[in-house]
Amino acid sequence: MYQPLDVGVMGPLKSSLRSTWVYRKSPKTAMEKRLDIIERTIIAWNSIDEGTVCSSFKKAIPRQFEAVEFL
């Protein structure tokens, strides 16, 4: 079983972060860099649909257990 957030959410989040990185100027100071990464992360997180998060967990949860015959 995979971790649902890792596969279903972090992939799209990282992709969105990369795309915001391309379109914004690089900050100069350490303080600007910290603020910039926070802003970029908020923008990237807000771009992820609620349904994406829900469906990633639904895929990870077993639906029905089949009858298993034990010896």
Task: Give the model's confidence band at 69: pLDDT under 50 very low, under 70 low, under 90 confident, else very high.
Answer: low
Per-residue pLDDT, 27: 83
Amino acid 2: pLDDT:
57
The two tokens of residue 27 are: 């900050």
Interatomic CA distance for residues 66 and 39, integer angstroms: 46
The answer on pLDDT for 34 being more than 90 is: yes
Q: Average of pLDDT values for 39-62?
A: 86
Average pLDDT score over the chain: 81
